[in-house]
Structure 1
Amino acid sequence: MQQRTAVGLGAWRRRLPRLAAAVCLCLAGAAWASPPRVITLAPNATELVYAAGAGADIVGTILRSDYPPEARDIPRVGDGIQFSEELILTLRPTLVIGWQPSDGTRSLAQRLAPLGVPLIYTDPKSLDDIPDLIRDLGARLGTQRAAEDTARDLERRIRALRPAPPPPQTVFIEISADPLYTLGRDPLTNDLLARCGGINPYADSAIPAPQVSVESVLHLNPHVLILSPYGRDTLAARQAWWAQHGLAAAHADRIYAIDADQLHRPGPRLVDAAETICADLRDSRARP
């Protein structure tokens, strides 16, 4: 038994130099590895990367990426619809992130593929998808701990959403006044409304943002009207306008305004919008 142990120890000692060399090589490789270089092609992608703790890795973005405030200092590569493929390539990205596929992103993906640079999309369909996207970005960018902390906090807030008492309220979301546009087949917004005790009367529309008539809104007679992107001054003006046209929600002060960027950017601040809308729908229940 002692002889076998001695032989085993001798073999272990002979392996030690090679093991030490392998460890040194691994550590050196980790030290020499270049940090990620991320380009975001949508404001929500920018916000998600920051939420994952990797905002400092963004080397290029689009014009409307303005949140958090430090994102305003990132070099621009386009406007979200059009962007410069050549400029993107000169920035040597290791990951490009868009919102939804488009002709522009498909063309860019073809140029990135031979370089081994992935182009991924961040298009959540429910509030629960947002923490998952943050976790995925953290895993890709090496910021798992920060991403996990943010994801868990968002999940806690999503679980804590308090809907208005039943029955569900019909909610008309006005995103443009002239011409009049609303949100239609938008699974993410409709998921948010459902969690708050609301129903979008245009949820079955064939498109995400249909143009509608004033007459159709008056006929539907929604219990609540939410204005976006309007502030307090415009809220008062639109309430007076709808009241003049006979909308019951306007006469009963069941019209609310919400930050457009929170509502329309499918990222972490959508949870802020959900909390606001849930509170508005609870308030509207108390109004005749």
Structure 2
Amino acid sequence: MPVAAAAPLATGPARHGTPPRIVTLAPNATELVYAAGAGADIVGTVLRSDYPPEARTIPRIGDGIQFSEETILTLRPTLVVGWLPSDGTRSLERRLAPLGVPLVYANPKSLDDIPALIRDLGDRLGTRAAADAAARGLERRIRALRPAPPPPQTVFIEISADPLYTLGRDPLTNDLLARCGGVNPYATHAIAAPQVSVESVLHLNPQVLIVSPYGRETLAARRAWWAQHGLPAALADRIYAVDPDQLHRPGPRLVDAAEAICADLRDSRTRP
């Protein structure tokens, strides 16, 4: 089910009359609404919503963790789309409920959920044709993913260098890795993004490293750092970079990240 809170997006009427007024509470929600053909109807979003480029001109209502309920209410939304439930979103839900304004959560658990979620949004927002076209395109690309030859390779995904964080029990990313012929050695960790020690990574000795560099943390710098610590994957140049926005935003561009990671894991098979 692509939407959190155990409920799919309700199907709305075909678009006619006054267009919807949408507020998005996360960058991935913004990208999904654009993919569904309703980006022009977003009247408020969060600071890091910067894709597609048109999203940069949308008024800001907060930073994704904290947002102004009063500002949202003054925008007169007809739909609010978030990512994960939080104290802030639950409080906002209580303010929106008497007004008949739904707040839905776009939290896909697999790559297949992403096109399904785009279709759900298109049904609700009256943009079914555009949403279905975007969903079909993503489905074709997901089906066309080419995994590395078996057996599966262990893949360490570094999402922060200092302190060192990785992805753990994150079903969406682990589904992506499985489709590319990889397995996350931290997949059974109790939380989605655990902090881990260098010693733990060295002990697990992953065959491939995927890093998502921020700021000054370039691929070359991370390769050198891990090589200095003696990690065989870094010494053998089986370390790759992926765009952090593509990998960490559970929206349409995650398929871009999947294509890149599948190619990386095929390449890693050619290295000693």
TM-score interval w.r.t. the shorter chain?
A: over 0.9
1:214 corresponds in structure 2 to 198
2:258 corresponds in structure 1 to 274
- Whole-Å Cα distance in 1 between the matches of residues 68 and 122 of structure 2? 27
Other structure's SS at 2:263 match: helix
The structure with the largest helix share of the pair is 1
Q: What is the deviation of 1:175?
A: 0.8
- Whole-Å Cα distance in 2 between the matches of residues 125 and 32 of structure 1? 32
Question: 1:86 is matched with which residue: 56, 59, 70?
Answer: 70
Question: 1:35 is matched with which residue: 15, 19, 25?
Answer: 19
Is there any run of 5+ residues in structure 2 with no aligned partner, and where?
1-13
Question: 1:120 is matched with which residue: 104, 127, 130?
Answer: 104
- Whole-Å Cα distance in 1 between the matches of residues 71 and 195 of structure 2? 36
Query: TM-score, normalising length from structure 1?
Result: 0.88
Is the CA contact 1:95–1:119 (under 8 Å) kept in the aligned structure 2? yes
Question: Which of the pair has the greater relative contact order for Cα pairs under 8 Å at 6+ separation?
Answer: 2
Q: What is the deviation of 1:244?
A: 1.1
Name segments (4+ residues, structure 1) moved above 4 Å.
Answer: 230-233
1:51 corresponds in structure 2 to 35
Question: 1:283 is matched with which residue: 254, 267, 270?
Answer: 267
Is there any run of 5+ residues in structure 1 with no aligned partner, and where?
1-29
Change (3 A) 1:287 1:232: farther
Cα RMSD for the two superposed structures: 1.4
Change (3 A) 1:190 1:32: closer
Is the CA contact 1:231–1:257 (under 8 Å) kept in the aligned structure 2? no
Output one character per residue of 1:154-193: Cα deviation in whole Å (capped at 9) or x when no partner.
0000000000000000000011111111010100000000
- Whole-Å Cα distance in 2 between the matches of residues 268 and 247 of structure 1? 33
- Whole-Å Cα distance in 1 between the matches of residues 112 and 210 of structure 2? 23
Output one character per residue of 1:57-111: Cα deviation in whole Å (capped at 9) or x when no partner.
0000000100000000000001101111111011000000000100000000111
Is the CA contact 1:230–1:259 (under 8 Å) kept in the aligned structure 2? no
Is the CA contact 1:230–1:257 (under 8 Å) kept in the aligned structure 2? no
Q: What is the deviation of 1:33?
A: 2.8
Change (3 A) 1:259 1:47: same
1:159 corresponds in structure 2 to 143
- Whole-Å Cα distance in 1 between the matches of residues 159 and 17 of structure 2? 46
Q: Pick which of 131-140 and 222-231 moved more.
A: 222-231
2:225 corresponds in structure 1 to 241
Q: What is the deviation of 1:233?
A: 6.9
Other structure's SS at 1:226 match: strand
Is the CA contact 1:230–1:258 (under 8 Å) kept in the aligned structure 2? no
Question: 1:250 is matched with which residue: 204, 220, 234?
Answer: 234
The residue type paired with residue 174 of structure 2 is: N
Other structure's SS at 1:59 match: strand
Question: 1:175 is matched with which residue: 144, 156, 159?
Answer: 159
Alignment partner of 1:150 is 2:128: no
Other structure's SS at 2:175 match: helix
- Whole-Å Cα distance in 2 between the matches of residues 150 and 219 of structure 1? 43
Question: 1:69 is matched with which residue: 35, 49, 53?
Answer: 53
Query: TM-score, normalising length from structure 2?
Result: 0.93
- Whole-Å Cα distance in 1 between the matches of residues 15 and 111 of structure 2? 37
Change (3 A) 1:239 1:122: same
Q: What is the deviation of 1:121?
A: 0.4
Aligned residue runs from structure 1 range 94-105, under 5 A: 94-105=78-89
The residue type paired with residue 86 of structure 1 is: E
Aligned residue runs from structure 1 range 192-207, under 5 A: 192-207=176-191
- Whole-Å Cα distance in 2 between the matches of residues 58 and 39 of structure 1? 6
Q: Pick which of 241-250 and 162-171 moved more.
A: 241-250
